[in-house]
């Protein structure tokens, strides 16, 4: 499989990113410098957002394995429901997750190299033949997309990605039989301001974005799923509240937050393959009569009134995965096909 690398640009970006992440407090972080670095990268002729390996458009099926942690679960929670609302036949896709709480790239690399037993969670669509086994046995099925993520506390530090990401990608490519496998990256979201000791939620997002940019240059990732940017977009709208779209300060609210994340997955991976758009989704998520008392913040419902704004946050993030929309107004203007 041919992979594109922009090593020399990535090294420069990495050095800049490392120097910036050396800061340790909200007061010490140079927001202006981070914003300028992101802007320079976005304007570079060597775009950090590219497709080395296209999604299987026209093949009529999509088999996805997401390897990650609880942030992976939040992003997958409503994907199947959205696909059903959009008329996608469950027989035409398979959606699975291999997840472990707080699991890092290093964790999954070790699981793969040690032949540990891993159990998959079926999140929707047709079932695969093997749902439990070693990573080698699970990967030996014909996946179309494998999605990876770094654990949230390390997502701001690119230096934590490797050598684990490279080793994990090598293992995936060695054992997955699909020569056209697409490697995707779920971009983490920033924490609620009240649940971090360093950096504001916006400062953390800037560091997450810089780390993800550097990774796309260096590590052979084909598609970025900009969940973190979609969530940060929403924090600049009326969708934001005290919870900042989280249920506990870290994980997404199981209403608007998880819905935005799922829409980002659908629009990034499923929309190009099945010719659908989240703009046509009509899903509602209501507040349960018996709310989960383990959540610090209450569920925030998805309604006919706020759903279009959720969609707009996602569309803007996919069009500009490393740029925050400062102001969003009613009515979605998009250049997406």
Residue by residue, pLDDT tens for the chain (337 residues) are 444 333 333 433 443 444 444 344 444 678 888 888 877 766 654 444 444 447 999 899 999 999 999 999 999 999 999 999 999 999 999 999 999 999 999 999 999 999 999 999 999 999 999 999 999 999 999 999 999 999 999 999 999 999 999 999 999 999 999 999 999 999 999 999 887 667 788 999 999 999 998 898 888 899 999 999 999 999 999 999 999 999 988 999 999 999 999 999 999 999 999 999 999 999 999 977 666 667 788 889 999 999 999 999 999 999 999 999 876 644 444 334 3
* Domains in the chain, number: 1
CB distance 8 to 60 below 8 Å: no
What residues have CB less than 8 Å from 215, skipping those under 6 apart?
Answer: 158, 161, 165, 185, 221
30 lies in some domain = no
Q: Where would I find the beta strands (DSSP E) of 228-330?
A: none
Which residues make beta-bridge pairs with 223?
Answer: 184
Give residue 155's domain range. Answer: 7-15+54-319
Does any domain span residue 312? yes
Total-model pTM:
0.87
Q: Are 138 and 98 in contact (CB under 8 A)?
A: yes
Find the farthest-apart pair of alpha carbons in the chain and give their distance in angstroms, rounded.
55
For residue 289, the model assigns a pLDDT of 63
Given its phi and psi angles, is residue 286 left (phi above 0), alpha (psi -120 to 50 degrees) or beta?
beta
Strand ranges for 1-119 from DSSP E: 62-68, 93-99, 118-119
Which pair of structure tokens corresponds to residue 118?
């891993």
Return the structure tokens found at 14. 């990495």
Pair 56, 273: CB distance under 8 Å: yes
Round to whole Å and give the CA distance between 198 and 62.
39
What pairs with residue 119 in β-bridges?
Answer: 132
Structure token pair of residue 187: 């971009």
- Specify the CATH number for the domain of residue 207: 3.40.50.1110
What is the three-class DSSP state of 223?
A: strand
Q: How many CB atoms lie within 10 A of CB 57?
A: 11
Residue 273's pLDDT is what?
Answer: 95
Rounded Cα–Cα distance for residues 242 and 254 (Å): 15
Q: Is residue 232 part of a domain?
A: yes
Residue 37 near residue 207, CB atoms below 8 Å: no
Q: Are strands 132-133 and 118-119 parallel, antiparallel or unpaired?
A: antiparallel
Cis peptide bond upstream of 163, omega within 30? yes
CB 219 within 8 A of CB 6: no
- Domain presence at residue 335: no
Residue 204 lies in a domain: yes
For 67, phi and psi rounded to 5 degrees?
A: -110, 115
**pLDDT for the residue 334:** 38
Say if 122 falls within a structural domain. yes
Q: 153: Cβ–Cβ under 8 A, 6 or more apart, which residues?
A: none
Asked whether residue 211 is domain-assigned, the answer is yes
CB 108 within 8 A of CB 169: no
Instruction: Specify whether the CB–CB gap between 206 and 249 falls below 8 A.
Output: no
Distance of alpha carbon 260 from alpha carbon 51, whole angstroms? 23
Decide if 222 is inside a domain. yes
Residues 172 and 134: beta-carbon distance below 8 Å: no
The answer to whether 315 and 267 are in contact (CB under 8 A) is: yes
């Amino acid at each position: 499989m041919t992979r594109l690398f922009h090593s020399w640009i990535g090294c420069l970006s990495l050095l800049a990113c490392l120097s910036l992440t050396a800061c340790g407090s909200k007061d010490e972080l140079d927001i202006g410098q981070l914003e300028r670095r992101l802007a320079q990268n976005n304007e570079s002729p060597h775009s950090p957002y590219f497709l080395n390996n296209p999604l299987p458009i026209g093949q009529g099926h999509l088999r996805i394995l997401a390897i990650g942690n609880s942030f992976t679960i939040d992003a997958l929670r409503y994907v199947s429901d959205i696909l059903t609302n959009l008329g996608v036949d469950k027989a035409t896709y398979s959606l699975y997750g291999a997840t472990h709480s707080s699991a890092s790239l290093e964790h999954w690399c070790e699981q793969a190299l040690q032949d540990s037993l891993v159990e998959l969670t079926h999140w929707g669509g047709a079932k695969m033949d093997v749902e439990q086994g070693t990573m080698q046995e699970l990967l030996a099925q014909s996946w179309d997309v494998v999605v990876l993520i770094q654990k949230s506390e390390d997502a701001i530090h690119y230096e934590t990605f490797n050598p684990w990401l490279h080793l994990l990608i090598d293992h995936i490519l060695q054992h997955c039989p699909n020569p056209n496998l697409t490697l995707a990256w779920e971009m983490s979201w920033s924490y609620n301001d009240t649940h971090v000791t360093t950096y504001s939620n916006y400062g953390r997002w800037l560091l997450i974005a810089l780390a993800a940019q550097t990774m796309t240059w260096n590590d052979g990732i084909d598609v970025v799923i900009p969940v973190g940017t979609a969530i940060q977009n929403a924090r600049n709208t009326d969708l934001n509240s005290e919870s900042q779209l989280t249920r506990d300060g870290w994980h997404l609210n199981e209403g608007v937050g998880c819905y935005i994340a799922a829409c980002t997955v659908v629009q990034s991976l499923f929309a190009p393959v099945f010719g659908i758009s989240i703009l046509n989704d009509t899903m509602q998520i209501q507040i349960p009569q018996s709310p989960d008392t383990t959540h610090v913040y209450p569920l925030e419902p998805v309604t006919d009134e706020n759903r279009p704004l959720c969609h707009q946050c996602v569309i803007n993030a996919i069009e500009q995965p490393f740029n925050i929309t400062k102001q969003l107004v009613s009515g979605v203007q998009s250049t997406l096909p």
